[in-house]
Amino acid sequence: MQDRVLSSLDQAAVRFIRILWCDNANIIRAKAVHRNRLRDYSTHGVGISAGQQAIPVMFDAPVPGVGLGPVGEIRLVPDWNTLTIIPYAIGHARVMGDMIKDGQPWSFCPRDCLKRAIATAKDQGLEIKAAFENEFYLLKSLSGEIVPADDTVFATTLSMDLQQRTIDEISESLIAQGISVEQYYPESGPGQQEISILYTDAAIAADQQIIFRETVKAIARQHNLNASFLPKIFPNQAGSGAHLHLSLWEGENNLLPDETGKLSPLAGYFVAGLLQHLDALMALTTPSPNSYRRIQPQTWSGAFCCWGYDNREAAIRVPTNPEPPSPTHLELKTVDATANPYIALAGIIAAGLDGVRRRLELPLPVTVDPCTLTESERNERGIYRLPTNLGESIQKLQQDQVLIEALGSDLAKAYLAVRQAEWNAMKDWQLEQEVKLLVDRY
């Protein structure tokens, strides 16, 4: 361990360093090492059971059929490049962990899965930049019932005033952890908020998604509120997504726009790849049974497999800019914060690169709400309703060799087993049951 790391910890009076991992249920977990013992753990990290990568969201026990259980020790090794002093937890710091076995990246490690996808893109001369755009609810308890923290509507200054202290502290805490805050506004649901952060390299974007979720929930608790990223909490209110914004780069050159202000051919291939694999991708990007309650027609959640410029009903929206260059990024709407960001981003990169490799033809952009088209009109244009439940997307992922290979056979097997266990357990649940279990998990 470098002395400068120890020095920075001492200057901040850090007592515990949390070494984090995000499992296949997208639960953020950690083991904490005391500063006085850090040298002993700095190189080889802490031990965790191999069974951790087979644990579903419902309980702390591995699901069968994966071969992961109580036997086998994995080292969770700190990536010291990610060390962050936690501003809302005085005396604690955070570092992301890589799963290592026998001195090599473990085949079940989500972070390594993303690193491999990024390396594959780089081999093709592409760099991926990304940002997750999170929506979340601020909640309170009223007579034992979960209710929104306020009763406001979209972008009202009243909501800004009511929640100013909480939002300001979240923003300042994110900035203190190296995350650039770009925009903030109250979202459509009562008590619902959105804080947008600036794009960055894909690997950093995934780490920042973990930090974002942790920070929002922790600051909310300090204000006697509960923040939840669960996609659907209230049956008649807006759901919460974590839309993923993506751009393709070669050095300093953004490869999305062409000289006419439209998508470049390369970007078109990439988007076509996303559309080609979108059904299966949803098992990675919207992986909870609860996720599909949000993705409904005419709710701006991207319920149809199509794309369009500035079309918020399309699964892929390509925003345009008031002046060149335009467009500079694309937005995948079928993403929410129940997704492991490393696995979701790895799958998205693999799907897009498959489109580039095969030079897939991009369908024409959709310029209307696809729900307003007749079924025959949608069929003529190759537009269709995306999977309406997790079971459907699991089946699509099982058949998608591009995504299975991107995850690797071991991680894919464990991931699918966890998803299937969650689907089997919750497929017949009512919304109230889902919320009771999941509102604090995400």
Domain-terminating residue out of 47, 78, 106? 106
Q: Give residue 7's pLDDT.
A: 85
Q: What is the number of structural domains in the chain?
A: 2
DSSP 269: H
Q: How many CB atoms lie within 10 A of CB 13?
A: 10
Say if residue 41 is in the same domain as residue 173.
no
Mean pLDDT by 10 residues, the chain (442 residues): 80 95 97 93 93 96 92 95 96 98 97 98 97 98 92 97 98 98 97 97 98 98 97 97 97 95 97 98 98 96 97 97 95 98 98 98 96 95 97 98 98 98 98 97 96
Say if residue 267 is in the same domain as residue 350.
yes
**In which domain, by residue range, is 79 found?**
1-106
Phi, psi of 382, deg, nearest 5: 75, 20
The C-alpha atoms of residue 131 and residue 299 are separated, in whole angstroms, by 22
Say if residue 253 is in the same domain as residue 400.
yes
Say if residue 235 is in the same domain as residue 333.
yes
Q: Is position 112 within any domain?
A: no
Q: Is position 147 within any domain?
A: yes
Q: Is position 111 within any domain?
A: no
Containing 366, the helix (H) or strand (E) segment is none
Say if residue 152 is in the same domain as residue 253.
yes
User: In CATH, what number is assigned to the domain containing residue 2?
Assistant: 3.10.20.70
Say if residue 136 is in the same domain as residue 93.
no
User: In CATH, what number is assigned to the domain containing residue 121?
Assistant: 3.30.590.10
Say if residue 61 is in the same domain as residue 146.
no
Say if residue 298 is in the same domain as residue 323.
yes
Say if residue 204 is in the same domain as residue 286.
yes
Q: How far is the CA of 9 from the CAs of 3, 97, 178, in angstroms? A: 10, 17, 16
Say if residue 319 is in the same domain as residue 388.
yes
Say if residue 140 is in the same domain as residue 88.
no
Q: Give residue 35's pLDDT.
A: 93
**Tokens for 123?**
């081999």
Say if residue 93 is in the same domain as residue 136.
no
**Tokens for 441?**
């998990």
Q: Give residue 1's pLDDT.
A: 56
The C-alpha atoms of residue 280 and residue 276 are separated, in whole angstroms, by 9
